[in-house]
Amino acid sequence: MAFKDLFKFNKGKTTFVFIGGKGGVGKTTISAATALWCARQGQKTLIISTDPAHSLTDSFEKNIGHNPTPIAENLEALEIDPEIAMKDYQAKMKEQQALNPGMDMGMMQDQMDMASMSPGIDEAAAFDKFLQYMMTDEYDMVIFDTAPTGHTLRFLSFPEMMDSWVGKMIKVRRQIGSMAKAFKNIMPFMGDEEEEDKAMEDLEATKKQIREARGIMADPERTTFKTVVIPEEMSIYESERAVEALHKFNINTDGVIVNQIQPEEADCDFCKARRQIQEQRLKTIQEKFGDQVIAEIPLMSHEVKGMDQLKEIGNILYGEDAEEGKGPIALN
């Protein structure tokens, strides 16, 4: 199977692709090249950077903001701004608190601290964006240029933690509602039933949305995770552990991109030595990820940035269908 065959374009429904791996392996370059390739196939594509150290602006050589920024035909990009995300997130929490008297603002943080995996604002904002674009199907493809492995695993654990938190909110809301009704006659200031019902409706809708997100993230036809590694032990073993963790979240991992491979035609002793070491690491990659489709990208003699060079990487990974005039890939 060719690497490009891993991309499933669903008519009328957004396909989500997460591209991740250890820091410094070239995730942003691969993500940007992939997004550009999808756009060239005629798919309306959005790429979202969830990494606090944003690099999409550098890769595309174009200023990218917190909202979708046009990059090329069929392609938009956004970099989540932590400060804006924090303000939006706090506003949502205050709104939830206003609808749920008696709830401590620290409760959500307590819930998200479970299992010693406390998500930061970047993961929270990324999950908000996932929900936003999951529900609208505005794009054919949404590609996530993810933060290094640990951040990404926290993000992907969000549906479980949010489901638990909202479930607890609903339970408390019902308790408060029962108390309010019981004391309505002697405590008329407890609030009206319409307000109580609205609060419950909002919580139930949130819970439904989160469960829909969990379903889509676990659907291999809608969501996949592609791992970027370099032929070095630390990258390989961290990626192996990450894939195991992703399977626990029912995330489909179907492709591995091996980046920065030393060319075989080495013209110096150092290059030859590096190639020999990498050949051993490539065997390890085949052993550990042989059930996935593996693609390789050679070490470039130049820094990869700008549209032309990103197209070059896309052509190495996926072929030159768009430039050969074969037209867009058909939607399922």
CATH number at residue 244: 3.40.50.300
**Quick one: pLDDT at residue 194?**
56
Residue 24 lies in a domain: yes
Q: Where are the alpha helices (DSSP H) in 65-148?
A: 82-99, 106-112, 121-136
User: Residue 104 pLDDT more than 70?
Assistant: no
Q: Is residue 326 part of a domain?
A: no
CA–CA separation, 56 vs 48, rounded Å? 9
What would the mean pLDDT of 90-101 be, rounded to a whole number? 61
pLDDT in tens, 171-181: 766 666 655 55
Helix axes 82-99, 193-217, angle to 10 degrees: 140
Q: What percent of the chain has pLDDT over 70?
A: 71
249, part of any domain: yes
Q: Which helix (H) or strand (E) element contains residue 235? A: helix 233-248
User: How high is the pLDDT of residue 73?
Assistant: 97
> Can you give the pTM of this predicted structure?
0.80
Give the separation between CA 119 and CA 114, rounded to whole angstroms: 10
Residue numbers of the domain that contains 224:
10-318
Q: What percent of the chain stands above pLDDT 90?
A: 46
pLDDT at 112 over 70: no
Asked if pLDDT for residue 246 goes beyond 60, the answer is yes
Q: What is the pLDDT of residue 181?
A: 55
The span from the CA of 48 to the CA of 227, in Å, is 16
pLDDT of res. 117? 38
- Beta-carbon count within 10 A of 136 CB: 9
Query: 7 Cβ partners below 8 Å, 6+ apart?
Result: 15, 17, 38, 141, 329
The count of domains in the chain is 1
Task: Answer whether 219's CB lies under 8 Å from 212's CB.
Answer: no
Structural domain contains residue 329: no
Please check whether residue 9 is in contact with residue 224, taking contact to mean a CB–CB distance below 8 angstroms: no
Is 331 a domain residue?
Answer: no
Tens of pLDDT, residue by residue over 23-50, are 899 999 999 999 999 999 999 999 999 8
Asked if 78 and 69 count as a contact pair (C-beta separation under 8 A), the reply is yes
Reported as a single tens digit per residue, the pLDDT across 59-69 is 999 999 889 99
DSSP state at residue 186:
T
Residues 182-191, mean pLDDT to the nearest whole number: 51
